[in-house]
A and B are shown apart, each in its own frame.
Chain A
Amino acid sequence: MATQDVIARSATTTERPSIREIGEVAKLIDTSKCIGCKACQVACSEWNDLRDEVGTSHGTYDNPIDLTAESWTVMKFAEYENPQSGNLEWLIRKDGCMHCAEPGCLKACPSPGAIVKYANGIVDFNQDKCIGCGYCITGCPFDVPRLSEKDKKAYKCTLCSDRVSVGLEPACVKTCPTGAIVFGSKEDMKEHAAGRIADLKERGFDKAGLYDPDGVGGTHVMYVLHHADQPSLYSELPNEPAISPLVSLWKGVAKPLALLGMGAAVLAGFFHYTRVGPVRVEEDEAEAPGATGVHQVDPAVHVVDPKEPRA
């Protein structure tokens, strides 16, 4: 994408180019249509040339068990016994970066330009500028970024920013066999979701709804959930995600206040020096009785100390 489309940039305090009006995009994941086939995981690793280590089974369908630096999306399978219907529900969620409108990773990142947000809403990591500190992990409300063991750089879903920039949909969307993942303008996706939610409500899921959490300003990856009142049922999807107050303190108000405090301490010293002045010892005091009494020398003897500073 053109550099003028970078509307937010990590460790940058001035405004970014923002006069071009580019519509926001979004990926909509309909959990009610997902069959857990993992084609999206395969498409992601295929398009992005990622080959994660073949791991071991943890006794569940989750494989790998969690996101890694080389698995940017992972299907998470949760078994839920619905107390109302008595049904066992298999809640499958495609986990990955949510592309927040207010990204915690970007707020926490200390390296200028290592994390950017494009005008279309995609949040992208620039590994070339990544220093490997892991602050993005600390900042993320969704526990998404992963540091690679190989190169100590942070990785996550790019929303296929390379494909989107040339008018293609993300690889996972392209491959999804049931149409559970769709991609388009954020407005269109909300509209599409509204239709799906109405359908689900008719089928008895009266708490069905859209997951586009306000706490992070909305996201550019949204879910249709059958149980939108309990997102945490879906393998710990946060109920009310927001940038942690600790992160806001650390990478928000503390930054300018600390610099101000340090600057003020230096200035206070300077002004103290120029107003009150230094404390000098009257060298006459050195000749006070007691000091000289111990070290009487013959007046003819001149003690010369090469180290003594000559005024």
Chain B
Amino acid sequence: MKHDIERYTPSQRSNHWAVAILFVLAALSGLALFHPALFGLSGLFGGGTWTRILHPFIGAAMFILFLVLALRFRAHNRLDANDRQWLRQMNDVVHNREEKLPPVGRYNAGQKVLYWVLVLCMLVLLVSGILIWREYFSSYFGITTLRLAAVLHAAAAFVLIVSIIVHIYAAIWIKGSMGAMLYGTVSRAWARKHHPAWAKDVERK
């Protein structure tokens, strides 16, 4: 609509979706190697050996594109006093009592926490992933380091996957959000309801 506000530029959207696609591929191939019940997922990648070959490259590509995305959005994700108050009122958040929450800027505290959790997980995944990448790197490290890396890789991947489940659910839950990432725009009413401080900023310009 003409009155809509642009929330994401085309490059930001492409960047986001490139990371999203790589995340899905990395998660499916990683889960195949994590639990026997999910080994069948390796079929999507051309079998177990191909899954083993491809997974680290997918992960490395995901990290690089995620880094670009995270740098684009870093200025909007600093947590402040309002955010801490918002997090304390988690009960109001999950019961849709948005009017009771402190005014939210471009991102709410939940989104900011997600941002930092993703940054942390991605860093742990990158470092531990390089360590356990047998083909090129593992021979440089000791066995205890590799075992620890394997555990941390699995743990960070678990936190990342659960975080993304929450992220996707939030987009389904809060109607009007999906459009922001699909077409780039949100309605003014949406902005005023969910991100009043941001909406005020945008409308002032």
Contact = CB atoms under 8 A, between A and B. Distances in A.
B3 A286 contact: yes
B37 A259 contact: yes
Main secondary structure on B side of the interface with A = helix
Given A138-B143, A273-B173, A290 B165 contact: no
Given A254-B151, A259-B37, A262-B158, A279 B49 contact: no
Interface string A241-257: 00010110110001110
Nearest to A9: B36
Interface residues of B, number: 55
Given A261-B162, A281-B176, A11 B36 contact: yes
A282 interface: yes
A283 B96 CA distance: 17
A265 B48 contact: no
B140 interface: no
A290 B199 CA distance: 12
A16 B165 CA distance: 35
B175 interface: yes
In this complex, the interface size class of chain A, counting residues with CB under 8 Å from chain B, is 35 or more
B51 interface: yes
Contact of B146 (A11, A129, A138, A286): A138
B39 A259 contact: no
Contacts of B77: none
B188 interface: yes
Interface in B180-199: 183, 187-190, 192-194
Interface in B3-48: 3, 32-39, 42, 47-48
Interface in B35-78: 35-39, 42, 47-49, 51-53
Interface of A: 11-13, 110-112, 129, 131-135, 137-138, 143, 147, 152, 244, 246-247, 249-250, 254-256, 258-259, 261-262, 265-266, 269, 272-273, 276-286, 288, 290-291, 295, 303, 305, 307-308
26 contacts: A13-B37, A110-B33, A112-B39, A132-B49, A132-B134, A133-B33, A133-B52, A134-B132, A137-B134, A137-B138, A138-B146, A147-B134, A152-B49, A249-B151, A250-B150, A254-B155, A255-B36, A256-B35, A258-B34, A266-B165, A272-B169, A277-B96, A281-B175, A281-B187, A282-B189, A285-B192
Interface of B: 1-3, 32-39, 42, 47-49, 51-53, 94-96, 98, 132, 134-135, 138, 143-144, 146-148, 150-151, 154-155, 158, 161-162, 165-166, 169, 172-176, 183, 187-190, 192-194, 203
